[in-house]
Amino acid sequence: NAGVMQNPRHLVRRRGQEARLRCSPMKGHSHVYWYRQLPEEGLKFMVYLQKENIIDESGMPKERFSAEFPKEGPSILRIQQVVRGDSAAYFCASSAGHLNTEAFFGQGTRLTVV
């Protein structure tokens, strides 16, 4: 049973380009969470999705960031017109349920904006 799979592991983008980060949850998991980690910081919650629905996006920046979790395929975190401040590690986690269930984290995508 493969764990949470994220790709790419490393992504370099020039300012103004788009970044697409993918996350395939563990088999049987329908809850996906995205977090951002800046150097020497803890993780900051961004968005919580279930299949085809955004449940909570309270941690998402209002502009340039979007997320989806389609019926088929991985969850996508999309960052348009990237800026240097978007450079961070982006982690995806999945769980079988929501409350009081354990979430498992992927390896992360390290985005560098040059």
**Which positions touch another protein (CB under 8 A)?**
33, 35, 40-48, 55-56, 58-59, 91, 98-100, 102-108
Matching residue, tokens 């982690």:
91
Contact between 75 and 69 under an 8 Å Cβ cutoff? The reply is yes
Of 55 and 114, the one with the shorter C-beta distance to another protein is 55
Q: How far is the CB of 16 from another protein (least distance, A)?
A: 27
What CA–CA distance (Å, rounded) separates 110 from 82?
Answer: 14
Q: How far is the CB of 19 from another protein (least distance, A)?
A: 19
Q: How far is the CB of 80 from another protein (least distance, A)?
A: 22
- Dihedral pair phi/psi, residue 8, rounded to 5°: -75, 170
